């Protein structure tokens, strides 16, 4: 697949519907680390998450007949809100399956946009498998959070914006990885326009299924422990196309502890005066952990979302 081409097409398709979020130089982080640190602020996106890009790009690719029948999605929250946002824009209907224990803040966002919410399973991969089966049984279109070329291309539109917004190509881009849709799309585009850019995949130590799968050369399950990064939690469904993309496009991997995530989130809130969620804190924590290696270099950290509940925020600030 010509990923740069389909990502540019997705970017053009999405422009009337999503925000071009700021790419801001962080003076505080730059002074602290000695790198030139830019923050791609997807926490300011519609639904407060990058996920709306992939979800909406998929919806816009469907025929009127497919939209009329309805769609099904599986999500821990942000993808579901992105699907619900897109459905509301297009006047269509859909069902979002979520795992038990999903963030109440994210569930409220899905419901606010009008999509039906149904619970299934304890983990994201169980929910995905059930939702895909449900869609097939009822003749509905399934919208994967990551395992779909149109979704990946939509997430890649974020990479197009980075390339357009920064005067000189970045030396490295730090991206949180769950199912791998965001890092795959961003890497596929940025490496095409700037082959020397280093893509760093970032995961919490407590739930690093993609890294384990990359190392094994096949999809494997890991023991998932609780993490602030609920947006990146969960395993990969069988046959996920993002595994090979991550294996070939991601140059380095960094895992971070829960305390490192909390510290990075506190630092961001204190210095940038904005909210971020745990998954966004993972990318920033990974950069801070590796900052000495990037002194004098130009670095972009993707702040992928801001959907955090009050109870989780209290654990970060206290």
The pLDDT of residue 134 is 96
Question: How far apart are alpha carbons 81 and 110 in whole angstroms?
Answer: 4
**For 49-98, what is each residue's pLDDT tens digit?**
999 999 999 999 999 999 999 999 998 789 999 999 999 999 999 999 99
pLDDT of 223 strictly over 90: no
Q: Which residues contact 65 (CB under 8 A, 6 or more apart)?
A: none
CB 274 within 8 A of CB 225: no
Query: Alpha helix (H) ranges present in 168-240?
Result: 181-193, 209-216
Query: Which of 23-32, 114-123, 210-219, 243-252 bottoms out in mean pLDDT, i.e. has the lowest?
Result: 114-123
With a CB cutoff of 8 Å and minimum separation 6, the contacts of 82 are 47, 49, 51, 52, 53, 54, 55, 56
Split at pLDDT 50, 70, 90, the class of 36 is: very high
Point out which residues pair with 204 in neighbouring strands. Answer: 256
Neighbours of 316 (CB within 10 A): 20
Residues in the chain, total: 318
Q: What is the Cα–Cα distance from 69 to 127, expressed in whole angstroms? A: 21
DSSP state of 177: -
Phi and psi dihedrals of 128, rounded to 5? Answer: -60, -45
What's the order of all strands across the beta sheet hosting 172-176?
23-25, 36-41, 298-303, 172-176, 198-204, 252-256
Q: Which residues contact 251 (CB under 8 A, 6 or more apart)?
A: 198, 199, 200
Between CA 36 and CA 34 the distance in angstroms is 7
Tokens representing residue 203 in the block:
């995961």
Q: How far is CA 164 from CA 16, 56, 73, 138, 187, in A?
A: 17, 21, 31, 42, 15
- At 77 the pLDDT is 84
Average pLDDT over residues 175-196: 97
The β-bridge partners of 49 are: 305
Total-model pTM: 0.96
Percentage of the chain beyond pLDDT 90 is: 86
Task: Give the integer Cα–Cα distance in Å for 207 and 69.
Answer: 35
Instruction: Centre a 10 Å sphere on the Cβ of residue 261 and count the other Cβ atoms it contains.
Output: 27
Please name each of the domains of the chain with its CATH number: 3-50+149-317 (3.40.50.1100), 52-143 (3.40.50.1100)
| Exposure b/e, 1-11, CB count within 10 A at least 16 = b | eebbebbbbbb
- Going across the sheet that includes 141-143, the strands are 116-119, 94-98, 71-74, 141-143
Residue 146, pLDDT above cutoff 90: yes
**In terms of Cα–Cα distance, which of 69, 153, 80, 165 is closest to 119?**
80
């Amino acid at each position: 697949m010509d990923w740069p081409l389909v990502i540019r097409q997705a970017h053009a398709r999405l422009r009337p519907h999503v925000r071009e979020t700021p790419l801001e130089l962080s003076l505080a982080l730059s002074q602290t680390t000695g790198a030139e640190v830019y923050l791609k602020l997807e926490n300011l996106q519609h639904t407060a998450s990058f996920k709306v890009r992939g979800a909406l790009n998929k919806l816009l690719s469907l025929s009127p007949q497919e939209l009329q029948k309805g769609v099904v999605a599986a999500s821990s929250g942000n993808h579901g809100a992105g699907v619900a946002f897109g459905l509301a824009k297009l006047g269509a209907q859909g069902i979002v399956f979520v795992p038990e224990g999903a963030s109440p803040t994210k569930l409220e966002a899905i419901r606010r946009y009008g999509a039906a919410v149904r619970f299934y399973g304890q983990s994201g991969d169980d929910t995905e498998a059930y939702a895909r089966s449900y869609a097939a049984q009822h003749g509905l279109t399934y919208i994967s959070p990551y395992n779909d070329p149109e979704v990946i291309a939509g997430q890649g539109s974020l990479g197009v914006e980075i390339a357009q917004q920064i005067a000189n190509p970045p030396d490295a881009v730090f991206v949180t990885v769950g199912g791998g849709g965001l890092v795959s799309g961003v890497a596929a585009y940025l490496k095409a326009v700037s082959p020397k850019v280093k893509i760093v995949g970032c995961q919490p130590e407590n739930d690093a299924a993609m890294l384990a799968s990359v190392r094994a050369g096949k999809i494997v399950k890991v023991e998932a422990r609780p993490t602030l990064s609920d947006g990146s939690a969960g395993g990969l469904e069988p046959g996920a196309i993002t595994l090979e993309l991550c294996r070939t496009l991601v140059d380095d991997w960094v895992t971070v502890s829960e305390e490192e995530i909390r510290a990075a989130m506190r630092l961001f809130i204190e210095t940038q005066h904005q909210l971020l969620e745990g998954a966004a804190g993972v990318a920033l924590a990974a950069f801070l952990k590796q900052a000495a290696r990037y002194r004098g270099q130009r670095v972009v950290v993707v702040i992928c979302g801001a959907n955090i509940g009050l109870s989780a925020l209290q654990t970060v600030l206290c």
